Chains A and B, each alone.
Chain A
Amino acid sequence: MPAIAKQSSASALGFGVRGWLQRQAAKRIAHPELLAFLDFLDLVPATPTLTEVLDLGMPLPPMSDDLWLIAPEITSHDIAMPMPELGVIDYALVAGALSDSLADTLPMPELEVIDCSLAAGAVSDNLASTLPGGRVDGTLFFQARKEEEQDGKKSRVPVVTPYERRATQGVDQGKAGAHLPGALLPNLFELLLPVLLPPAKTEFGQDLLLPQELYPFQGYGVKWLVDHDAALLADDMGLGKTIQAITAFRVLLRQGKALQCLVVCPKSVVSSWKHHFEGWAPELQVVVIRGAKQARDFQWAAYGGKAHVILANYETVRNDADSAQKVPFGVVIADEIQKIKNPSTETSQAIRRLNGVRRWGLSGTPLENCPGDVVAIFGFIKPSLFKHEALLVADPVTVRNRIKPYMLRRRKADVLKELPQKVKDIRYVELEEMQRKSYDEAEHTGRIELETGENVTVQHVLALITRLKQICDFDPITGDSAKLEWLKDHLETAVEEDSKVLVFSQFVETLDKIEPQISDYLPLKYTGQLSTGRRDEIVRKFQEDPQHKAMLVSLRAGGIGLTLTAANYVAHFDSWWNPAVMTQAEDRVHRIGQDKTVFVTTLVAEDTIEEKIQRLLDRKRHLFDRVIDDLSDTGLQKVLSQEELFGLFGLKPRRVARVHEQSRVAPVQAGATHVFKPQEPFSNVVKLRDILRTCEDYIWWEDPHFGTRALEELVVVVDPSKIKEIRILSRTDQFTDRANSDFQRFCQEMERKGVSVEWRTTDRSISHDRYIVGSNHAYNVPPVNAIFQGAYGEGLHTTNRPPFEEWWRSARPVR
């Protein structure tokens, strides 16, 4: 217990000072110097102690050594310390409440200086990636596979499983958006994206905007679907079943009757559905179930409420039956529903188990005459319809009457007056797995060459594009082809309708590969390699013999001058850059004598150079009024600028030295300027070689039939209104039979277009040039130049000032 030390005259004063000191101590401003001074004056009998202060009602809590940071226990800030958290704070508060000086007097154990700063975490890679317009699926990723030999059998197995991959490789290599060949899947992007997506919108207002007006029969189809929970829409192929189903779902969404739709379709049309949704229902969130099994199982659950539409192919639904059936759908659409006509297959059973309030089937294949198939299909659409009545299957009339309320079928003949004469469509297909791998590798390699090569020009880009386009048709290693799968389905349906199909491709090799694959339809092949007689025979056979259901046509050889009205379906297996060339080809079918609507489908491989160019051209068409004129050029390098061409691969054209710029980068302009100088005596003589003298169109050099095709192309691109006459001057002994034949055909076609053509030959040396004379108008067509330089020419010599008129007068007419 504390005691009073002294009693003196100054005690009263001392008492007063003590009181003051207490107050100062409480304010934490008691200074030891002041206390010493007071003591010196003997005004304070004794320095007030802590205990005296405590006597006055401010007891100190007992302090424990445990509250101090004892050095031996801490070696780094990573070691956890058993330490009462509030103790230190309490102690600090008490110490502060006394005074700085008093605190200083307390015994202080020696402390180790500890770094208490916290390390900031490392920022992850981008886990969400860039989503190109309207796309939300990870289409860039796929499962890389490797060949393994087990028990003497080779098989392709995934390189790693998703979880192995994450554990061993981390996030870096799976960085979303990375487009590496052989990229591994699934990755964090696929895992996280469903979670990060906003919930699917459920409020849409009352407006239903359509990109184009529906035909009346389509409008009826939409209403019929909306009114039917169980429905089989079995319109003929090409009448727009897809857009009717999409529009009907949009109506149901707005009515609040459905929130989520599942579309099950063949693999070859998944991409096509996606693009149709983009075009016809841009407000909807559409996702595709894809990837490895674990990822897919996760997606089925995670996309619930996150997407309006889920797309899956039949195989996916079959393999994920357990996951898929747990998701409740407002609408389930089974496209090409004849795929489940065999009720005992796993696919059929999986589809029937799907949980859909409304069940719609789509099919262009006539089904009414196959009661067994219809019963199986209605096992999904309306299971109760034929339940326990298997015997009815044998009676087509009963089956037909029973399904009548649930089936809507319009044939083309029924709606012919509503249809235009020609219906065009673009079908997007997703490359097969190995095809994708080959494509990515080729693109990757090509891109590196473009980036690192010396003197890279537009021609190198064009060469790469051609290579990639060929892979889009067929995988060079395995022969896989997504387009071929689509074509087989298409042919099957067309033949069921008793129609014929024309298939165009710019690559003869592509046609060679297609031919054996569709041999059931006895296809005929029409290419430039055939003699004229053989060609005529093929055309006659196709027109007259009903057994030949398909004809494979080289775009260049068969794109002009033929009449093939026996077909009313046209499929462009690949696209030529100029729509005019393709239209010209379609007109083999769509011409006088055709009494059916012509359906033209252009196949585009998704996420490839084909799609990029397609989109670029579409955009240009919409942007520029003049674009149709611009696109009348057949060469891609004329349609797209140098920047756009390089931009297809994410590159910028590199500037080359000025001296090269004239000869390589802009040969056309340089040549044209030279030819069309005002003072030029023969300004109306268009010497194509001069215009394009340095154009290195080496893409075509390896093709022996290039000359033929190039002339055919020239026929297409020439605008007759701008041509007064054409004069061809050639040297007799330099023309091969083939060249003669090609030029003969060229002359015939031009004359058919109303252009006067005259062709003379001379024995005099005119170097290796041939001349085509227009009326002051140049057609800058590089392939035509290559005719003269390559296929029909022997050298590169030329004369600077050809005395054309003089030679022309002395030359002999060919005909």
Chain B
Amino acid sequence: MTGKRSPEERARQDASAVLLLGFLTFQETADGAGYIGSAMVTDQRGYPLEFRVLTPVKPTPMQKVLFGAGLEGYVSAELCGRQLVSGIQRKPRLFLVDRRELLALGVESPQVFLWLRRPGEGAAVRAAEEPRREEGRVEAAAPGFQPVVWQGVFDSENTKGHVLSLLSECSGSFDLMEAFKRMRTAVELLAKNDARYR
């Protein structure tokens, strides 16, 4: 986006950003040789407004060795996550991620990043150097959807209140975790149809 925005424009965009949800995920390519990051922006009903995919990052064996256990974290957050967050056109205030590593994007970011998972899945192990994060649970507002557990950091209680209220509202319209599944399926489909994403 270029050019200066008028105050009215900014206010309008800011207002709409509050009502948007961003989803970030990260998956291996079908051959296991690389990683693909994708982002989706939806409205509160879960309808996709924007979907972006990165071309795969394919580390060489040497790079895999040298980055070691930190490879996925580095690729997912530093390479894919930042690219996607800056590359999408709509800028939601809230990003939901399904990988703990992606929470690193929330550091010094105006957006809130929450890691979502099903209760009992993906233990929330915290590394010593990581900041302490808050954790909670969202019960689906509509029947038929499972609850989700979130983890993240908020800059204020006010933000936290807004975000959790939005999450709760959205959970009545669609299953928040299911959105990641859609994205992964779309990436797989895309890879089948476009060589650039293999």
Mask for A120-137, Cβ within 8 A of B = 1, else 0? 111111111111000010
Check if A625 is an interface residue, CB within 8 A of chain B: no
Give which listed residue, A114, A188, A195, contacts B62 with CB less than 8 A: A114
B51 touches A127 (CB 8 A): yes
Shortest Cβ gap from A121 to chain B (Å): 3
- For residue A83, which residues in chain B have a CB less than 8 angstroms away from its CB? 61-62, 65
Check if B48 is an interface residue, CB within 8 A of chain A: yes
Shortest Cβ gap from A105 to chain B (Å): 24
Give which listed residue, A78, A126, A128, A198, contacts B178 with CB less than 8 A: A198
Shortest Cβ gap from B158 to chain A (Å): 29
Shortest Cβ gap from B92 to chain A (Å): 14
- For residue A167, which residues in chain B have a CB less than 8 angstroms away from its CB? 195
- For residue B40, which residues in chain A have a CB less than 8 angstroms away from its CB? 128, 196
8 Å CB interface, A163-221 against B: 163, 166-167, 170-171, 188, 191-193, 195-199, 201-203
A764 to B161, CA, bound (A): 81
Shortest Cβ gap from B98 to chain A (Å): 16
A188 touches B190 (CB 8 A): yes
Check if A629 is an interface residue, CB within 8 A of chain B: no
A74 to B61, CA, bound (A): 12
Total residues of chain B contacting the partner, CB 8 A: 58
Binds A, one of B2-10, B116-124, B179-187: B179-187
Mask for B104-137, Cβ within 8 A of A = 1, else 0? 0000000000000000000000000000000000
B55 touches A121 (CB 8 A): yes
Check if A88 is an interface residue, CB within 8 A of chain B: yes
B52 touches A118 (CB 8 A): no
Shortest Cβ gap from B81 to chain A (Å): 10
- For residue B197, which residues in chain A have a CB less than 8 angstroms away from its CB? 124
Check if B102 is an interface residue, CB within 8 A of chain A: no
Check if B162 is an interface residue, CB within 8 A of chain A: no
Q: With contacts A121-B79, A188-B193 known, is A197 near B47, CB below 8 A?
A: yes
Check if B75 is an interface residue, CB within 8 A of chain A: yes
8 Å CB interface, B69-95 against A: 74-75, 78-80, 82-84, 87-89
A198 touches B186 (CB 8 A): no
B65 touches A120 (CB 8 A): no
A115's nearest neighbour on chain B, judged by CB, is B63
Q: Residue among A89, A126, A171, A202 with the most chain B CB within 10 A?
A: A126
Check if A702 is an interface residue, CB within 8 A of chain B: no
Check if A5 is an interface residue, CB within 8 A of chain B: no
A124 touches B54 (CB 8 A): yes
B47 touches A85 (CB 8 A): no
Check if B64 is an interface residue, CB within 8 A of chain A: yes
Mask for A131-146, Cβ within 8 A of B = 1, else 0? 1000010000000000
A118 touches B79 (CB 8 A): yes
8 Å CB interface, A526-574 against B: none
A167 to B59, CA, bound (A): 25
A121 to B187, CA, bound (A): 14
Check if A77 is an interface residue, CB within 8 A of chain B: yes
Q: With contacts A120-B57, A121-B57 known, is A85 near B64, CB below 8 A?
A: yes
8 Å CB interface, A316-355 against B: none
Check if B142 is an interface residue, CB within 8 A of chain A: yes
- For residue B175, which residues in chain A have a CB less than 8 angstroms away from its CB? 198-199
A170 to B55, CA, bound (A): 13
Q: Is the interface of A mostly helix, strand, loop or mixed?
A: loop
- For residue B80, which residues in chain A have a CB less than 8 angstroms away from its CB? 120-121
8 Å CB interface, A82-135 against B: 83, 85, 88-89, 114, 116, 118-131
A126 to B41, CA, bound (A): 10
A69's nearest neighbour on chain B, judged by CB, is B62
- For residue A127, which residues in chain B have a CB less than 8 angstroms away from its CB? 51-53, 186, 190
A131 touches B54 (CB 8 A): no
B38's nearest neighbour on chain A, judged by CB, is A124
Check if A80 is an interface residue, CB within 8 A of chain B: yes
- For residue B195, which residues in chain A have a CB less than 8 angstroms away from its CB? 167
Check if A81 is an interface residue, CB within 8 A of chain B: yes
B62 touches A123 (CB 8 A): no
A125's nearest neighbour on chain B, judged by CB, is B52
- For residue B41, which residues in chain A have a CB less than 8 angstroms away from its CB? 128
A201 to B182, CA, bound (A): 15
Check if B143 is an interface residue, CB within 8 A of chain A: yes
B45's nearest neighbour on chain A, judged by CB, is A198
A80 touches B61 (CB 8 A): yes
Shortest Cβ gap from A424 to chain B (Å): 31
Check if B50 is an interface residue, CB within 8 A of chain A: yes
Q: With contacts A121-B37, A198-B182 known, is A166 near B194, CB below 8 A?
A: yes
Check if B32 is an interface residue, CB within 8 A of chain A: no
A86's nearest neighbour on chain B, judged by CB, is B65
Shortest Cβ gap from A129 to chain B (Å): 8
Check if A34 is an interface residue, CB within 8 A of chain B: no
- For residue A126, which residues in chain B have a CB less than 8 angstroms away from its CB? 50-52, 89
8 Å CB interface, A48-91 against B: 69, 74, 77-81, 83, 85, 88-89
B62 touches A198 (CB 8 A): no
A199 touches B178 (CB 8 A): yes
A80 to B60, CA, bound (A): 6
Check if B174 is an interface residue, CB within 8 A of chain A: yes
A85 touches B144 (CB 8 A): no
A405 to B182, CA, bound (A): 45
B51 touches A196 (CB 8 A): yes
Q: With contacts A195-B182, A195-B189 known, is A118 near B50, CB below 8 A?
A: no
A306's nearest neighbour on chain B, judged by CB, is B182
Check if B1 is an interface residue, CB within 8 A of chain A: no
Give which listed residue, B55, B61, B78, contacts A122 with CB less than 8 A: B55
A167's nearest neighbour on chain B, judged by CB, is B195
Shortest Cβ gap from B188 to chain A (Å): 9
Shortest Cβ gap from B13 to chain A (Å): 14
Give which listed residue, A78, A120, A124, contacts B52 with CB less than 8 A: A124
A282 to B61, CA, bound (A): 53
B66 touches A116 (CB 8 A): yes
A120's nearest neighbour on chain B, judged by CB, is B79
Q: Residue among A131, A191, A192, A197 with the most chain B CB within 10 A?
A: A192
Shortest Cβ gap from A207 to chain B (Å): 14
- For residue A78, which residues in chain B have a CB less than 8 angstroms away from its CB? 60
- For residue B189, which residues in chain A have a CB less than 8 angstroms away from its CB? 191-192, 195
Give 4 closest A-B pairs by Cβ, nearest first. Answer: A123-B87, A121-B54, A128-B51, A198-B46
What are 30 A-B contacts with C-beta separation under 8 Å?
A69-B62, A74-B62, A77-B63, A81-B60, A81-B61, A83-B61, A85-B65, A114-B62, A116-B63, A116-B66, A120-B54, A120-B82, A120-B83, A121-B36, A121-B54, A123-B53, A123-B84, A123-B88, A127-B52, A128-B48, A188-B190, A191-B189, A191-B190, A192-B190, A193-B48, A195-B182, A196-B51, A196-B183, A198-B46, A198-B182
Q: A78-B60, A198-B47, A201-B173 are in contact. List 10 more A-B contacts (CB 8 A).
A: A74-B62, A81-B60, A85-B61, A118-B59, A120-B80, A121-B54, A121-B80, A126-B50, A198-B179, A201-B142
Q: Which residues of A are interface residues toward B (Cβ below 8 A)?
A: 69, 74, 77-81, 83, 85, 88-89, 114, 116, 118-131, 136, 163, 166-167, 170-171, 188, 191-193, 195-199, 201-203
